[in-house]
């Protein structure tokens, strides 16, 4: 294949623009803000779980509180009833002693229940505090997400604009590129291989492979308009004054 040397060199511009485009697309697909937002989302999920757990614990504690509170009022009612009986005259000594015994037992059990209630109230306070902490954490994290999203959108818009500019520049360059070389180039890149590279310092600019002496002399002997390919990566091997031939 023969293509005018100046036309061959256009392929280097295409390769350069494509390399820049690939970098921009990589940055666009891997914005640090996206990773940050995903991390924040995980933290939000955790904080929301904490809030739900605190809610469930609060319901359990409330139920327990009502149960013990009910027991205490039941005991108070019986204590009042027993006290009234004690104050009635004419009670047999044995019945009197039983009643006093029951009253003492009731009072002791009520004391224990009241201590439990105090402990429960402390737990309720702790649960309320935990729920507030989790809710505040969610609110703060949501604000962080909003800030990160704005930064992400701005960065994405900048990159999209650069990609659009470069895509237009590529189209302008490609207009002047020879079709037969473009076909080779596109076939290469479609297979994830470099399309074109500059021969410089005995190396293929696309894959960096050093060419052996025999290949180099063959290249030096080739006509200026001969189309050369790198034996290693298949890229169009373009010669310029930098090639040192």
List contacts with Zn ion (CB under 5 A).
204, 206-207, 230, 232-233, 235
Could you give the C-alpha distances from 109 to 16, 95, 98, 112, in angstroms and in order? 87, 21, 16, 5
Q: Which is nearer to Zn ion, 113 or 196 (CB)?
A: 196
Q: Which is nearer to Zn ion, 117 or 233 (CB)?
A: 233
In 3D space, the residue among 173, 190, 207 whose CA is nearest the CA of residue 229 turns out to be 207
Q: Which is nearer to Zn ion, 222 or 233 (CB)?
A: 233
Shortest distance in whole angstroms from residue 211 CB to Zn ion = 9
Shortest distance in whole angstroms from residue 236 CB to Zn ion = 10
Shortest distance in whole angstroms from residue 16 CB to Zn ion = 16
Determine the Cα angle at 200 with ends 196 and 205, to 5°: 35
Shortest distance in whole angstroms from residue 13 CB to Zn ion = 18
In 3D space, the residue among 47, 64, 57 whose CA is nearest the CA of residue 120 turns out to be 64
Cβ partners under 8 Å of residue 182, min gap 6 = 11, 14, 174
Shortest distance in whole angstroms from residue 232 CB to Zn ion = 4
Q: Which is nearer to Zn ion, 115 or 231 (CB)?
A: 231
Neighbours of 217 (CB within 10 A): 12
Q: Which is nearer to Zn ion, 58 or 207 (CB)?
A: 207
Strand 236-238 and strand 196-200: the pairing is: parallel
């Amino acid at each position: 294949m023969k293509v005018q040397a100046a036309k061959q060199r256009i392929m280097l511009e295409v390769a350069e623009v494509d390399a820049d485009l690939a970098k921009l697309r990589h940055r666009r697909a891997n914005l640090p803000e996206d990773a940050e937002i995903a991390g924040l989302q995980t933290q939000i999920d955790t904080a929301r779980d904490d809030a739900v757990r605190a809610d469930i614990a609060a319901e359990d504690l409330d139920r327990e509180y009502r149960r013990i509170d009910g027991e205490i009022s039941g005991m108070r009612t019986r204590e009042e009833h027993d006290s009234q009986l004690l104050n009635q005259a004419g009670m047999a000594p044995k019945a009197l002693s039983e009643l006093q015994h029951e009253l003492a037992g009731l009072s002791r059990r009520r004391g224990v229940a009241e201590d439990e209630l105090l402990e429960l109230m402390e737990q309720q306070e702790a649960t309320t505090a935990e729920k507030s902490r989790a809710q505040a954490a969610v609110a703060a994290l949501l604000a962080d997400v909003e800030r990160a999203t704005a930064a992400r959108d701005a960065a994405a818009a900048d990159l999209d604009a650069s990609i659009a500019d470069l895509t237009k520049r590529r189209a302008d360059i490609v207009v002047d590129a020879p079709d037969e070389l473009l076909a080779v180039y596109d076939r290469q890149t479609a297979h994830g291989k470099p399309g074109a590279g500059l021969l410089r310092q005995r190396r293929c600019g696309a894959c960096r492979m050093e060419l052996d002496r025999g290949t180099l002399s063959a290249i030096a002997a080739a006509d200026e308009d001969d189309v050369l390919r790198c034996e290693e990566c298949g890229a169009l091997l373009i010669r310029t004054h930098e090639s040192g031939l």
